[in-house]
């Protein structure tokens, strides 16, 4: 079965450079979440999209932006990279988000390991 696909798998950047991470959700999934996981830390929520609209925003720095496209894939754009941005960035997808109970599992991608030197 198709899973959540993230690219690239690994990315090495210098300080102050920019990076773009891509996420392709499971087919028919319309909701995408981005998480950041630092070394030895639990995943921290960054931002989410439902039907191409931003649905929630977490601890995402102003230097980062994201969007969801018409084919439901999402991109996380990171500018003016800092050493502290080095982390594993996960994308997750699920089907449907309402303001009531959400019963769908979240499926996570394998993540993009970003190293800022």
Partner 1 sequence: KQEVTQIPAALSVPEGENLVLNCSFTDSAIYNLQWFRQDPGKGLTSLLLIQSSQREQTSGRLNASLDKSSGRSTLYIAASQPGDSATYLCAVRLWEGGSEKLVFGKGTKLTVNP
CB 56, min distance to partner 1, A: 4
Angstrom distance (rounded) from CA 14 to CA 65: 19
**Distant-in-sequence contacts of 58-66, Cβ < 8 A, 24+ apart:** 60/34, 66/34
CB 80, min distance to partner 1, A: 26
Angstrom distance (rounded) from CA 30 to CA 50: 6
CB 41, min distance to partner 1, A: 7
Q: Are 8 and 113 in contact (CB under 8 A)?
A: no
Q: Which residues bind partner 1 (CB under 8 A)?
A: 4, 33, 41-43, 45, 48, 55-56, 58, 88, 90, 92, 97, 99, 101-103, 105-111, 113
CB 16, min distance to partner 1, A: 26
Length of the chain: 117
* Minimum CB distance to partner 1 smaller for 79 or for 113: 113
* Minimum CB distance to partner 1 smaller for 45 or for 73: 45
**33: β partners:** 48, 92
* Minimum CB distance to partner 1 smaller for 78 or for 93: 93
């Amino acid at each position: 079965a198709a899973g959540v696909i993230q690219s690239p798998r690994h990315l090495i950047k210098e300080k102050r450079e920019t990076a773009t991470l891509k996420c392709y959700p499971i087919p028919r999934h319309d909701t995408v979440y981005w998480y950041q996981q630092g070394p030895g830390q639990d995943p921290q929520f960054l931002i989410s999209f439902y039907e191409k609209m931003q649905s929630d925003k977490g601890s995402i720095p102003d230097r980062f932006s994201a969007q969801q496209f018409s084919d439901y894939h999402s991109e996380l754009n990171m500018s003016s990279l800092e050493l502290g941005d080095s982390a594993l960035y996960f994308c997750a997808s699920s089907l449907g988000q309402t303001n009531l109970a959400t019963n769908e599992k979240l499926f996570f991608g394998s993540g993009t390991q970003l190293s800022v030197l």
